[in-house]
């Protein structure tokens, strides 16, 4: 939609081809249905929130960055708000508000929208685009074609890799598509007991063959068979890469990252000495949710009804070890279908970063998730979609 709007701003005749019955099905799912449009961080930080191909986006962000995007919506009547970690949402808290505005802009720009229409082939003559052949047999002539069909996650929304196949048919190198921003499944029965518990301001440490490969602070949530939440999603790409290399991947959750073990022990001793009648179960409530505290006591083999001031030095240290490093082995990641975004796609080496035009076929452009770019959780992937779409449209 952004690519079409941008292209139409230069008085081009633009047709938007959509295989679904309605536009924006995937957009409506973003940000839990609230649409995390972008992130308010500085332009250089935007780049740093992408994987190793992030530098490819430098020109796209220079042309149309997060501030430009916020202004784009504000000028058309949709205000935004900034939440935790710089995440930007529409003030309505509804992704539908974003979709409605984009559809209104398509109408205002007199863009022809063809729904329920799939593309079978991009027509090329002498290494230049001449149009597209639709599956219904219709040929749409065009001297420029932008392919912005997304990755392979949430196939029900239409993200079935159509554009990636079309690019491959025209000789483009495709980086294997893998899940990114995915919840993680753990080799343990404990997550099911902790299902629904959220932990804020914790540190998640990822280890491969016992060697630390990343560490990040933020929020996690326990699911029926693993963990999710912003820092889990951001860590998932690293986990997938290490697992693909045949390494044994494990996680450690530090529930009290602001204190080292010695400092934490001092705090715990102080709490215990100030509450001689309290059980250790009740003291633990000040540091962890009840169900998690109960599990930690079970793992430490400490009776729940034991008086806090009767803890032995070893029991206290065992508890602290768990609070500072609750360990889990990774079973696997979720499928491509359930990942929020995918990595891989058309190689950035075959796309001109200043225009988004293919280096192989004149008049062919790419935008969004079908390019081999992927960012962290927090509005970065949508910003990349809007920016690359806008630049391709120009």
**pLDDT at residue number 158:** 65
* Weakest-pLDDT range from 88-92, 299-303, 386-390: 299-303
CA distances from 236 to 129, 204, 222, 339, 375 (A): 38, 11, 15, 10, 11
- The span from the CA of 8 to the CA of 106, in Å, is 9
Choosing among 1.10.150, 1.10.8, 2.40.128, 2.30.30, the CATH entry for 271-325 is 1.10.8
pLDDT greater than 90 at residue 386:
yes
**CA dist., res. 31 & res. 88, Å (int):** 10
- pLDDT for position 277: 79
First to last CA, the chain: 13
- The pLDDT, as a whole number, for residue 119 is 96
The whole model's pTM is what?
Answer: 0.84
Domain ranges of the chain: 2-179+340-393, 184-256+327-333, 271-325
Task: Please give the average per-residue pLDDT across 204-210, as a whole number.
Answer: 93
Residue 53: the pLDDT is: 94
**Looking at domain 2-179+340-393, what is its CATH homologous superfamily?**
FAD/NAD(P)-binding domain (3.50.50.60)
CATH fold of the domain at 184-256+327-333: Elongation Factor Tu (Ef-tu); domain 3 (2.40.30)
Residue 34 has pLDDT above 70, yes or no: yes
Matching fold, domains 2-179+340-393 and 184-256+327-333: no
Q: How far apart (Å, rounded) are the C-alpha atoms in residues 389 and 185?
A: 34
CA distance 15 to 146: 10
pLDDT at residue 178 in the model? 86
Q: Which pLDDT tens digit goes with each residue over 268-283?
A: 888 888 766 789 999 9
């Amino acid at each position: 939609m952004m690519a079409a709007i941008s292209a139409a701003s230069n008085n081009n005749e633009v047709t938007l081809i959509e295989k679904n019955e309605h536009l924006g099905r995937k957009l409506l799912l973003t940000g839990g249905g609230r649409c995390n449009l972008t992130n308010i961080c500085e332009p250089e930080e935007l780049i740093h929130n992408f994987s190793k191909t992030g530098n490819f986006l430098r020109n796209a962000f220079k042309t149309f960055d997060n501030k430009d995007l916020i202004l784009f919506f504000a000028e058309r009547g949709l205000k935004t708000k900034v939440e935790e970690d710089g995440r930007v949402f529409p003030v309505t808290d509804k992704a539908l508000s974003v979709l409605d505005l984009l559809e209104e802009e398509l109408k205002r720009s007199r863009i022809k929208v063809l729904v329920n229409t799939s593309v079978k082939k991009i027509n090329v003559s002498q290494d230049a685009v001449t149009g597209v052949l639709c599956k219904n047999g219709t040929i749409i002539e065009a001297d420029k074609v932008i392919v912005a069909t997304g990755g392979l996650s949430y196939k029900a929304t239409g993200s079935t890799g159509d554009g990636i196949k079309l690019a491959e048919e025209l000789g483009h190198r495709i980086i294997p598509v893998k899940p990114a921003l995915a919840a993680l499944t753990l080799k343990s029965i404990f997550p099911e007991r902790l299902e629904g518990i959220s932990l804020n301001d914790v540190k998640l440490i990822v280890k491969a063959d016992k060697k630390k490969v990343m560490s990040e602070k933020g929020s996690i949530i326990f699911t029926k068979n693993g963990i999710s939440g912003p820092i889990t999603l951001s860590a998932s790409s690293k986990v997938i890469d290490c697992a693909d290399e045949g390494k044994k991947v494990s996680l450690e959750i530090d529930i009290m990252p602001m204190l080292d073990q010695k400092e934490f022990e001092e705090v715990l001793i102080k709490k215990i000495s100030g509450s001689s009648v309290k059980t250790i179960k009740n003291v633990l409530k000040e540091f962890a949710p009840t169900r998690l505290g109960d599990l930690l006591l079970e793992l430490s083999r400490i009776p729940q009804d034991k008086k806090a001031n009767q803890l032995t030095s070893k029991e206290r240290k065992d508890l602290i070890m768990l609070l500072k490093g609750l360990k889990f082995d990774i079973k696997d990641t979720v499928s491509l279908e359930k990942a929020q975004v995918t990595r891989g796609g058309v190689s950035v080496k075959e796309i001109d970063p200043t225009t988004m035009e293919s280096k192989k076929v004149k008049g062919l452009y790419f935008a969004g998730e079908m390019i081999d770019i992927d960012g962290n959780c927090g509005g970065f992937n949508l910003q990349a979609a809007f920016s690359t779409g806008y630049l391709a449209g120009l």
